[in-house]
Structure formats: C-alpha cells, structure tokens
Chains A and B, each alone.
Chain A
Amino acid sequence: MSAVAVKYAELQELGVEVFAISTDSRFSHKIWQEEELSKMVPGGVPFPLLSDQGGRVGTVYGVYDEDAGVDIRGRFLIDPDFNLRAMEVLTPEVGRNVSELIRQVKAFQHVRATGEVTPSGWQPGKPTLTPGPDLAGKVWKVWKPDSAF
C-alpha cells in the first residue's frame, strides 16, 4: 500500500483514481493509517481505504479466500467506460509491482488514444503495432523479441 502511495502523484497525473480494499473495518483502517502508514508515507496513504467486511465484494471480484476470511492480493484496472481492462491476483506472501501497474495504465491509455496495439514489454517511446491484414505474418519485420526488455 505504501509503495502505491509513493507513486500516487504519478498515478494522479495519469488521471487514475486509487482505492484499496480489505476485509478490515473502517476503524481498523483509521488506526493503521495513524499508527503505521503515516510513518512510512508523510500524511498517510492519500487514497481511500475501503472496508469489505464479509468479503462480499471480494467474492464478486474472485479474490475472497473463504478459508482465511480475507481478500487476497488482487489489482484491477478499470477504463473510463467502466470496463475491466487488467487484473493481477497473487497469494498474500508476495507483494505487487507498482511500476508494472503504471506501465499497463500508460499502455492502455496509448491504445485507447491511437488504436495501435502495444507488444510485450512495451514502454512509452517503444514501437507499437497497427493490426491489419498487411501485418499478418510480418510482425518479425517490425518487432524483435529483444524489444520486450
């Protein structure tokens, strides 16, 4: 959570609203913010902390672990038409990579603005592809696997 908070300004520049959700109560969120998060990030995390008590929303998103009674780590990206664009779900012991989230936001925004598609590992400035009959069987001419890294 605090890693997302550090990159929050960049996410805001990209026009992204961030919401964090766990099965804890809002009162627990408040004490966590005051006692711990505010010591990792000045002022605490700048986005809302939502309370999914009972895991009903987590169930609909496929991240509620009934045995543990918690929402496991899941990150969902939604576009301005309110369609789900990307999701990443991990078991609790490994944290997420905020840089990859930001890369995906930039890629989806580029696709939405241009109609081009972004190949594996695309970063802003790297070549994109324009799908069409002429490209079939010719991707090797315009894109090399090394470009993914």
Chain B
Amino acid sequence: MAENKDGCVKPSKGPILAAVESPAASPVITKEVPKVQARVGKPAPDFELAALVGGGFKNIKLSDYKGKWIVICFYPGDFTFV
C-alpha cells in the first residue's frame, strides 16, 4: 500500500525520450515533438506518470520494472462502460 502522506505528488516527467543531439552550430531551434516510438521488437518507450497505487498517490517510472514482464493497458477514461 502506497503512503498517502503526499497530498500533492511532484509533477511526473511524462515520456522519457532519448536525448536528441542538437548540432551546436545549428541556428534553427525546434521543439522536439514526441512521435510514435512504440514498435514491436524495439525497446519500450519509457515514461514516468502520477498514479493511484492502493489508496495513495505516487509517481511510477516504467523502467523501474525492467526485468519483469509488463502489461500496460491504455483505456479511454474512468467511468466508461466496456
């Protein structure tokens, strides 16, 4: 059971993307937009998200579970029907 003392969890990082090497001389500044990176047979995209665990809140980083089999299920929303 997660500790419930942290009423306001620190902001989670979201997707943890591999650092893109930017050429130092490049005058063009572009903001890296996350693209689809999920491909079977390739490393799973890592992330850190706020979560409800037991009755409490904590941040979960996916790569902390490296070494185990992992299933992640996206679903459209709480209180949906199927």
Residue numbers of A with Cβ under 8 A of B are 1, 4, 11, 14-24, 26, 28-33, 36, 48-52, 54, 56-63, 68, 70-87, 92-96, 101, 105, 108-109
B70 touches A26 (CB 8 A): no
Question: Within the complex, what minimum Cβ distance (angstroms) separates B72 from chain A?
Answer: 5
Q: Are A84 and B75 in contact (CB under 8 A)?
A: no
Q: A78 touches which one: B35, B70, B82 (CB < 8 A)?
A: B70
Interface size class of B (residues with CB under 8 A): 35 or more
Q: Does B42 contact A (CB under 8 A)?
A: yes
For B36, list chain A residues within 8 Å (CB). 59-62
* Smallest beta-carbon distance B52→chain A, Å: 4
**From residue A129, how far is it (CB to closest CB) to chain B in Å?**
19
User: Given A80-B66, A84-B42, A51–B51 Cβ distance below 8 Å?
Assistant: yes
Complex Cα distance A31/B57, Å?
13
Binding site for A on B (CB under 8 A): 9, 12, 14-15, 17, 34-45, 47, 49-53, 55, 57, 60, 62-63, 65-80, 82
Q: Could you list 10 further interchain pairs (A-B, Cβ under 8 angstroms) beyond the known A78-B62, A87-B38, A93-B82?
A: A17-B65, A23-B77, A31-B78, A51-B52, A60-B47, A70-B77, A73-B73, A73-B76, A76-B38, A86-B40
Known contacts A49-B51, A80-B66; decide if A21 and B40 are in contact (CB<8 Å).
Answer: no
Dominant secondary structure of chain A at its interface with chain B: mixed
* Least CB separation from B75: chain A residue: A22
Residue of B nearest to A90 (CB): B82
10 contacts between A and B (CB under 8 A): A19-B71, A29-B52, A50-B51, A51-B51, A60-B15, A60-B36, A61-B38, A71-B75, A83-B43, A92-B82
- What is the CA–CA distance of A94 and B76 in the complex, to the nearest angstrom? 11
Question: What are the residues of chain B within 8 A of A75 when measuring CB–CB?
Answer: 71-74
> Contact check: which of A36, A57, A79 meets B69 at CB < 8 Å?
A79
- Given the contacts A78-B44, A86-B40, A21 and B73 also touching, CB distance less than 8 Å: yes
